[in-house]
Amino acid sequence: MDVINWAGNHTITADRLVEARSVEEARAVVASSRHVRALGTRHAFNDLPDTAGTLVSVTGIAADPVLDEDARTVTVGGGTRYGDLAAWLDARGWALHNLGSLPHISVAGATATGTHGSGDANGSLSTAVRGLELVGPGGDLRTIAADDPELAGSVVALGALGVVTRVTLAVEPTFAVRQDSYRDLPWDAFLEDVPAVTGAGYSVSVFTDWAADRIEQVWVKRRVTALLDRGARDPGAADAASEDAPDLLGVRPSGVARPLIVPSDEVNTTVHLTPGPWNARLPHFRFDATPSVGDEIQSEYFVDRADAVPALRAVRALADRIAPVLAITELRTVAADDLWLSMAAGRDSLAIHFTWHRDAAAVAAVLPLVEAALEPFGARPHWGKVHLFDAARLAPLYPRFDDARELLARRDPDGVFRNAATERLLGQL
């Protein structure tokens, strides 16, 4: 049977799909299957979820969140969408440190692939993981606690360790965020002081088509001290204590309350100008609306933040080749971490993201140019997006690559959870 991914660019292959309603059902399916892959909210853009056997969807397993205020953690079903968890936490006065641009993605799927938000001091979503419960080979249920030395190799594991049924995440007291957009920032000004832009707020996103002399938009999300009325938690809730936003390298804030990222967007972006709950401002797209372009292909590459300027210049030199295929590029920063297969492992990173038009042939033609331009900077591709890397190219980029391979081979010696994608990316285990 075939399952279409969220963007419609990839058909996920499998012999069958089981939509598990409980952990016990997931265990039974794994125990009776030769090959298994977990399926979340289908936001992978490549063949990472494919299997020659059974797909197990965990989105139907109850979220059943458990908050531990003393430990500052929440434990939740792996198939839970971030938007659902975030609303539940905020209602109780708690927050996650960050969210991705789409709150529609599942906790287990996002953390397994190193998915991230933005912010110079913010780690990826995976860095919040403090524990995992997963169904391993034979259907055995295993818990990996915060003090387990294997946790750093198990969080970003591409689904190759098993079906993640519950995830424990670090939480912090809830906070409010105001976001503002800036238009037409000169490229030259940006390249002269990249840290001034990426450090202008708690979370910053730079949107460009590479072709113009000016950057189309910069979105700056700032944490604010004013707390919202706990009875007014709708996505448009405003705080009367809002302040004027400062200039950004001489550019005034646009004053647009709901800017669009690309012209084809409907009014689906989160509110600007007025402070609101963290979960209604940190994402770019509203949880109750269709996110982003939808009909698209995505690629993303991580370089050391110290190489930001030459890496951006290298890509910008390809503007004429990129522009016809591109809907928009987003530039974000991610703090370094110690997760073995994280794209930000060991280095503060600049993430260069491409939302392409859904033209697979055109994307395939331009990707070799982009990857060649970024190769001198040790670019690492996002595991869940479209790229041309294989194990031979990836191994030198990750200090713990061999450790990750050893862990996956030891925990799943028969390759129950591996597939063509994991073997291409990690090599034969």
Give the model's pLDDT for residue 324.
Answer: 96
Segment 157-172 mean pLDDT: 98
Q: For residue 235, is pLDDT > 50?
A: no
If asked whether residues 123 and 141 sit together in one domain, one would say yes
The token duo for 113 is 């692939």
* Average pLDDT of span 221-246: 59
For the cut 90, the answer to whether the pLDDT of residue 335 exceeds it is yes
Residue 45 — pLDDT band, cuts 50, 70, 90?
Answer: confident
> 5 falls in which pLDDT band (50, 70, 90)?
confident
Exposed, middle or buried by CB within 10 Å (0-12, 13-18, 19+), for 229? Answer: exposed
Last residue of a domain, one of 173, 195, 224: 173
Domain closes at, from 173, 207, 228: 173
Q: Does residue 268 have a pLDDT over 90?
A: no
Query: Which of 7-16, 244-253, 308-317, 338-347 has the lowest average pLDDT?
Result: 7-16
Same domain, 92 and 169: yes
- Summary mean pLDDT of the chain: 93
Is residue 294 predicted with pLDDT exceeding 70?
Answer: no
pLDDT, mean of residues 77-96: 97
For residue 303, being part of any structural domain is answered with no
> Which strands sit side by side in the sheet containing 326-334, from one edge to the other?
276-277, 176-186, 214-224, 203-208, 326-334, 349-357, 296-304, 380-381
Beta strands in 66-225 (DSSP E): 66-68, 73-77, 94-95, 129-135, 141-144, 163-170, 172-173, 176-186, 203-208, 214-224
Q: Please provide the DSSP assignment of 245-296 as one string.
A: PPPBTTBPB---SS--SSTT--S-BPP-SS-EEHHHHSSSB-TTS--S-SSE
Give the end of a domain, one of 20, 38, 57: 57
pLDDT exceeds 80 at position 227: no
Burial of 371 (0-12, 13-18, 19+ CB in 10 A): middle
Q: Is residue 247 part of a domain?
A: no
Q: Parallel, antiparallel, or unpaired for β 163-170 and 203-208?
A: unpaired
The radius of gyration of the chain from alpha carbons, rounded to an integer in Å, stands at 21
Residue carrying the six token digits 């139907």: 60
CA angle 247, 250, 253 (to 5 degrees): 40
Indicate whether 77 and 142 sit together in one domain. yes
Residue 239 confidence (pLDDT) above 50: no
The angle at the Cα of 267, spanning 264 to 271, to the nearest 5 degrees, equals 130
pLDDT confidence of residue 9: 84
% of the chain with per-residue pLDDT over 70: 93
Query: Phi then psi for 149, rounded to 5 degrees?
Result: -60, -15
Q: What is the pLDDT of residues 385-405, one digit of tens each?
A: 999 999 999 999 999 999 999
Q: 70 with 162, same domain?
A: yes
Residue 91 neighbours by CB under 8 Å, 6+ apart: 233
> Is residue 226 assigned to a domain?
no
112 and 91 in a common domain: yes
Token pair of 395, please? 């191994």
Is there a domain that residue 304 lies in? no
Contact call for residues 88 and 183 (beta carbons, < 8 A): no
Whether residue 72 sits in one domain with residue 148:
yes
Residue 342 covered by a domain:
no
pLDDT at residue number 234? 44
Both tokens of 166, joined, read: 């519950």
The two tokens of residue 62 are 């109850």
Residue 78 shares a structural domain with residue 156: yes
For residue 101, is pLDDT > 80?
A: yes
Amino acid letter for position 290: T
In a shared domain, residues 47 and 83 = no
Residues 35 and 99 in one domain: no
Q: How far apart are CA 12 and CA 120, in angstroms?
A: 35
Structure tokens at 338: 């110690």
DSSP 228: P
Q: Are residues 51 and 70 in the same domain?
A: no
Pairing of the two strands 16-19 and 54-57: parallel
| Domain membership of residue 41 as a residue range | 2-57
pLDDT greater at residue 33 or residue 289: 33
Q: Phi/psi of residue 91, each to 5°?
A: -65, -20
What tokens appear for 144 in the block?
Answer: 């990996």
Lowest mean pLDDT among 93-97, 237-241, 290-294, 407-411: 237-241
Tokens coding 189: 């000004």
In a domain, 45, yes or no: yes
Task: Give a yes or no: residue 100 inside a domain.
Answer: yes
Q: What is the mean pLDDT of residues 237-254?
A: 74
- Residue 83's SS3 state is helix
Calculate the alpha carbon distances from 32 to 20, 36, 54, 137 in Å. Answer: 14, 10, 10, 10
Prediction pTM value: 0.94
Query: Residue 148 is part of a domain; what is its CATH number?
Result: 3.30.465.10
**Distance, CA of 352 to CA of 329 (rounded, Å):** 7
Q: Which residue has the higher pLDDT, 104 or 429?
A: 104
Same domain, 147 and 52: no
| Cβ burial, residue 258 (10 Å; 0-12/13-18/19+) | middle
Q: Are residues 86 and 47 both part of a single domain?
A: no
Task: Tell whether the model's pLDDT for residue 323 goes beyond 70.
Answer: yes
Could you tell me if residue 201 is inside a domain? no
Asked if 380 and 397 count as a contact pair (C-beta separation under 8 A), the reply is: yes
Residue 326's DSSP bridge partners are 356
Would you state the structure tokens that stand for residue 176, as one six-digit string?
A: 């409010």
105 conformational bin, left if phi > 0, alpha if psi -120 to 50, beta if neither: beta
Domain count, the chain: 2
Q: How far is CA 400 from the centre of its chain?
A: 21
CATH number, residue 25: 3.30.43.10
